[in-house]
Amino acid sequence: MTERLTSTPAGVQLGPLELIPDGTARNFVLEMRAGRFHGFVVRRGTQVYGYVDRCAHMPVPLTQQLDAYLTPDASHIQCSWHGALYTVEEGRCVGGPCVGARLLPWPVTTIDGMIVTVGEDKA
């Protein structure tokens, strides 16, 4: 069994911005030498916000259904297991069992229309 990673190298191209429709989220799984990374990206217009796919309340993936990370009105990230609600922009829990806790960020940005990882190479 491979280790589950919490970061990725900088410069990984995840795909074009259009891969994620505005106001939705998409899951990404990256297989690396050191192990497997599970994360997701939320799109708000031209802004993207990335997080490690792990609830701050319990170490489980946030969703039970592929890409279903957001509340029905797309205003918050929601854990489908225990109902924790997180802000899209900061990953801060504002409702549920872990108020004040934060999702682990996965730094991403857009460069020339492509979603790309940024930050330190820790993988």
Type of residue numbered 112: D
Type of residue numbered 32: M
Q: Go through the domains of the chain in sequence order and give each one's CATH number.
A: 4-117 (2.102.10.10)
Write the CA distances from 48 to 1, 27, 92, integer angstroms. 31, 13, 16
Per-residue pLDDT tens over the stretch 76-110: 999 999 999 999 999 999 999 999 999 999 999 99
| pLDDT at 2 (0 to 100) | 60
pLDDT above 50: residue 121: no
pLDDT class of 4 with cuts at 50, 70, 90: confident
| pLDDT at 87 (0 to 100) | 98
Rounded CA gap, 50 and 117, in Å? 9
pLDDT class of 123 with cuts at 50, 70, 90: very low
In this prediction, residues 103-121 reach a mean pLDDT of 91
Write the CA distances from 104 to 5, 32, 47, 72, integer angstroms. 12, 19, 18, 22
CA atoms within 13 A on the CB side of 69: 28
Buried/exposed 44-65: b ≥16 CB within 10 Å, e otherwise:
eeeebbbbbbbbbbeeebbbee
Tokens 């330190």, located at residue:
120
